[in-house]
Structure 1
Amino acid sequence: MTGPARRPRRRRGEEGETLIEVLVAVVLMGVAFVIILGGIGTAIISSVTQQKVTSADSVIRSAAEKVVSDPYVSCASSYETPAPPAGYTVTVKIEYWDGVGAFGQPCPTADTGVQKVTLTVHQTGPHPVRDAMLEVVKRESMLS
């Protein structure tokens, strides 16, 4: 043996990729994959949240339609609402017009014929979104 063996030189155009170049390419592809995966995750979370908000809106509008269609009840303690689907609760709060310029909680001795009904829908279960609230003003019909 006469010294270290020499590798033959490659001709031009036959050079391969170095380990550094391969590592840089793998890292760049990994970063792109993480960014794409994060975007998909965000889209899924926002879609689920929007679906919950839309469902709560549907429940509260059904309850409001029922309250509006029911006849006016003087000094009512509550109005009947449709049974909400599983995972939702509906609360009803009634305030009475005082005849001067404000709504108050207790029924006045002489009902003025105007009520403000506040409906609130609360979601139960895992990861609920904000409560939905809707106010309806009910008036006693003067047609009798």
Structure 2
Amino acid sequence: MTGPARRPQPRRGEEGETLIEALVAVALIGIAFVAVLAGIGTAIISSARQQQVTGADSVVRSAAEKVIGDPYAPCAGSYRTPTPPAGFTVTVEVEYWDGTGAFARRCPAADTGVQKVTLTVHPTGPHPVRDTTLEVIKRESVLPS
């Protein structure tokens, strides 16, 4: 008489993984992968924004050098700036000193010889950042006679 069939006992070290354990491992690896991927995406966007800020700073300084190098223009409507690279626009605003310590957008009847030129660079890339502004004070040079 033979008894019921007995299951062979697994040898030590030959136990298999259960389906639950495998699913948990795959889920943990997936979560870690998504976290790393999100970090890389954030770093790429931050890098692009920093490049725009640095580029805008360079463009506004270049425009200021052009304005400083140009001769004083009494009651100038605007000063010319170099053509900005793609992804940037430059605006120029001129204000005139009224002789009492204030600047106004309208040129006084007698130009006092002092102007405030405000240069603003606006980045227009896919991840826009703040505008960069630089003010230049231009003074008419009067040579002594």
Normalising by structure 1, we get a TM-score of 0.88
Deviation at 1:44, TM superposition (A): 0.7
What percent identity do the matched residue pairs reach?
Answer: 76
Answer with 8-17 or 99-108: which moved more: 8-17
The residue aligned with 2:116 is 116
Q: Does 1:83 align with 2:83?
A: yes
Deviation at 1:93, TM superposition (A): 0.4
The residue aligned with 1:66 is 66
Q: Does 1:24 align with 2:24?
A: yes
Letter aligned with residue 37 of structure 2:
L
Distance 1:123 1:17, change over 3 A: same
Mapped partners of 1:72, 1:13: distance in 2: 89
Deviation at 1:25, TM superposition (A): 1.2
Mapped partners of 2:27, 2:56: distance in 1: 44
Letter aligned with residue 10 of structure 1:
P
Q: Does 1:9 align with 2:13?
A: no
Mapped partners of 2:110, 2:23: distance in 1: 83
Q: Which runs of 5 or more structure 1 residues have no equivalent in the other structure?
A: none
Q: Does 1:52 align with 2:56?
A: no
Mapped partners of 2:60, 2:45: distance in 1: 23
Mapped partners of 1:4, 1:113: distance in 2: 112
Deviation at 1:138, TM superposition (A): 0.9
The residue aligned with 1:43 is 43
The residue aligned with 2:104 is 104
Deviation at 1:41, TM superposition (A): 0.5
Letter aligned with residue 49 of structure 1:
R
Mapped partners of 1:110, 1:46: distance in 2: 49
Letter aligned with residue 39 of structure 1:
G
Letter aligned with residue 7 of structure 1:
R
Normalising by structure 2, we get a TM-score of 0.87
Distance 1:7 1:78, change over 3 A: same
Mapped partners of 2:23, 2:55: distance in 1: 48
Deviation at 1:6, TM superposition (A): 4.1
Deviation at 1:67, TM superposition (A): 0.2
Distance 1:32 1:126, change over 3 A: closer
Distance 1:131 1:140, change over 3 A: same
